[in-house]
Chain A
Amino acid sequence: MAEKKYLIKQISIFSENKPGRLAAIAKALQEAGVNILAFSIAEANGFGVVRALVNKPDLAHTTLTDIGFMVSFTDVIAVAMRDEPGGLFEIARILGEAGINIEYSYAYSGKDGAVLILRVDQVEEGVEKILAAGGTLLDVSLFQ
């Protein structure tokens, strides 16, 4: 189906909550030549999950797995946002009206404008609604 090309592979990495863990992840990715495009950390009780969009997700997965990290892929979508007041509202409104819940989200603002990364409970419907409302979704090819 057409929506498939908008499903982006985010890598999620399990990390204990202690000094040096993030540095170890970043160093390994640097050495493998993997560029991190967007990144966030979610905290919980004694551990966290590092979430990242990278230019070479499969390589990142192997690299981190090889040095003993637990890594998995999660489908997220990336929406181009107008980098001005109201940009986020437009997207949130579309999803809200469609009854689609945002589980988590993070954003980056780069040279090509602002991008909102979303993990939603109904991915395919989310893609459909955003496209139908005239929104721009970033293509998976940008992230691999």
Chain B
Amino acid sequence: MFWNREMETISGEDLEALQLSRLKWTVHHSQNVEFYRRKFRDAGVTPDDIKTLDDVEKLPFTYKKELRDAYPFGNIAVPMKQVVRIHTTSGTTGKPTVVSYTRQDLDNWSELIARNLTMIGLTDEDVFQNAVNYGLFTGGLGFHYGGEKIGATVIPSATGNTKRQIEMIDDFGVTAIHCTPSYGMHLVEVAEEMGASLDSLRIGIFGAEPWSENMRKELETRLGVEAFDSYGMSEMYGPGAAFECPEHDGLHLWHDFYFAEIIDPETGERLPDGEKGELVITPLVKEAMPLVRYRTGDITRIIPDDCPCGRGRRLARISGRADDMLVIRGINVFPSQIEHTLLSIPEVGDQFMVYVDRINHLDEMTIEVEMNRESFSGELADLAGLQRKVAGAIKESLNLRTTVKLVALGSLPRFEGKARHVVDRRGEIW
């Protein structure tokens, strides 16, 4: 099924012409942003140098850091009164990255999610449980608007309260659910314990964190769904920028909205189709916050041949990161962020270790702390208070749940040279 057959299946010269005209518009539009004017000047290019799609290579890359440094509104290309929504993503230190939307941006974002949902067979007859975070995080509101657009019954269940989520699936006859794959596995286990049937459920949309083909099998058999992979990030509106079709062989990055390149992350050279490298995205219709050659940090490749479903070429599923970013329970975290938060707690000092494990399919973060001698009062209540303080600080700054263990002095590893306080023990998750 198609939501917008014309755009979904546009190909060949028509697609190239459309992409080129939109690319030209985007590049010109980007000049409303001071840092893009500067970047273009530094690179010695002007918007008029874009005459073919391949001319994109002349343009400078945009990095996440630049968006963050533009805080709060230095990356906006429209007058503030046209901005109708603001989301933020957590920052490495201190200030977050602000992403802004015009009304047209919100419409575009809902449109692409409506395409995704229609592509996998959802209609206004479906009951769609949106079990991801709402609020500043883009996952919740993004899929919410898309689900509403196709006329499905949307349950904004957000995260948490697993038992209630399962009761809702059974009581409301939920047919489709959107959550992180690890939360999907957790639902399976709690439902099995509760003896809930989850009979009505037929479609699972999983995104915001990497998941493997093994996990797909597990989710499909135990949750009783057909599982679909969803990809996106706040900088590209939010989740749902690329989505798996029923062929389950790669994701359609909506070609009328985004222009994709694969590069060698070391050299910045463009790689030919089929080769693995870092995904670089130039959105083609973004108004409030245009981006030029944005470095996503995600490793993938372009599958060169057309998909049998008729929607053209696909991106392979994400197979790694070009940097040390971790995805924990769907939240993107850099080890430096965790370290920064812990280092700011005086009782903790620099003696701590952070372990990320996957226990019962859920990501669990454990922080082992050797507290300072000076901070030890001898009172049990103070120790318990420190545990709460550390867990609270991580929750506040990164929105992550942790277990805090107090350990004896000298029991944590000491580092010569660069300290590695954060250890990911989840093994093969890509």
Residues of A at under 8 Å CB distance from B?
10-12, 14-16, 21, 42, 44-47, 49, 51, 65, 68-74
Q: Do B379 and A15 touch across chains, with their CB atoms under 8 A apart?
A: no
Q: Which of A11, A14, A44, A45 has the most CB of B within 10 A?
A: A14
B43 within 8 A of A: no
The residue from A68, A71, A73 contacting B410, defined by CB atoms under 8 A apart: A68
CA distance A15 to B407 in the complex (A): 8
11 residue pairs A–B, Cβ–Cβ below 8 Å:
A10-B378, A14-B406, A16-B408, A21-B408, A45-B384, A46-B406, A47-B383, A47-B406, A49-B378, A51-B378, A68-B408
Q: Do B380 and A70 touch across chains, with their CB atoms under 8 A apart?
A: no
Which residues of A lie under 8 Å from residue B379 when comparing CB positions?
Answer: 12, 49, 74
CA distance A121 to B320 in the complex (A): 56
The residue from A21, A44, A74 contacting B378, defined by CB atoms under 8 A apart: A74
Which residues of A lie under 8 Å from residue B384 when comparing CB positions?
Answer: 44-45
For B379-391 the 0/1 string (1 means CB < 8 A from A) is 1100110010000
CA distance A46 to B380 in the complex (A): 12
Residues of B at under 8 Å CB distance from A?
371, 373, 376-380, 383-384, 387, 405-411
CA distance A80 to B157 in the complex (A): 61
Q: Do A70 and B377 touch across chains, with their CB atoms under 8 A apart?
A: no
Q: Do A69 and B378 touch across chains, with their CB atoms under 8 A apart?
A: no
CA distance A73 to B384 in the complex (A): 18
Q: Do B387 and A45 touch across chains, with their CB atoms under 8 A apart?
A: yes
CA distance A21 to B407 in the complex (A): 12
Q: Do A68 and B409 touch across chains, with their CB atoms under 8 A apart?
A: yes
Q: Do B407 and A70 touch across chains, with their CB atoms under 8 A apart?
A: no
Q: Do A46 and B378 touch across chains, with their CB atoms under 8 A apart?
A: no
Which residues of A lie under 8 Å from residue B373 when comparing CB positions?
Answer: 65, 70
The residue from A10, A42, A73 contacting B380, defined by CB atoms under 8 A apart: A42
Asked if A72 meets B376 with Cβ closer than 8 Å, knowing A14-B408, A16-B407, A46-B406, the reply is yes
Nearest A residue to B372 via CB reads: A70
Which residues of B lie under 8 Å from residue A51 when comparing CB positions?
Answer: 378
CA distance A11 to B376 in the complex (A): 12
CA distance A45 to B386 in the complex (A): 12
Which residues of A lie under 8 Å from residue B377 when comparing CB positions?
Answer: 12, 72, 74
CA distance A40 to B8 in the complex (A): 72
Nearest B residue to A70 via CB reads: B376
Q: Do A69 and B405 touch across chains, with their CB atoms under 8 A apart?
A: no
Which residues of A lie under 8 Å from residue B409 when comparing CB positions?
Answer: 68-70
Q: Do A46 and B405 touch across chains, with their CB atoms under 8 A apart?
A: yes
Nearest A residue to B373 via CB reads: A70
CA distance A75 to B405 in the complex (A): 27
CB distance from B349 to the nearest CB of A (A): 13
Which residues of B lie under 8 Å from residue A45 when comparing CB positions?
Answer: 384, 387
5 cross-chain pairs, A with B, having the tightest CB-CB distances, nearest first: A12-B378, A72-B378, A70-B376, A68-B410, A74-B378
Which residues of B lie under 8 Å from residue A42 when comparing CB positions?
Answer: 380
Known: A14-B371, A47-B406, A65-B373. 12 other contacts (CB 8 A): A11-B378, A14-B383, A14-B408, A16-B408, A21-B408, A44-B384, A46-B405, A46-B406, A49-B380, A51-B378, A70-B371, A74-B378
Q: Which of B406, B408, B411 has the most CB of A within 10 A?
A: B408
Q: Which of A11, A15, A72, A73 has the most CB of B within 10 A?
A: A72
Nearest A residue to B376 via CB reads: A70
CB distance from A68 to the nearest CB of B (A): 5
Which residues of A lie under 8 Å from residue B411 when comparing CB positions?
Answer: 16
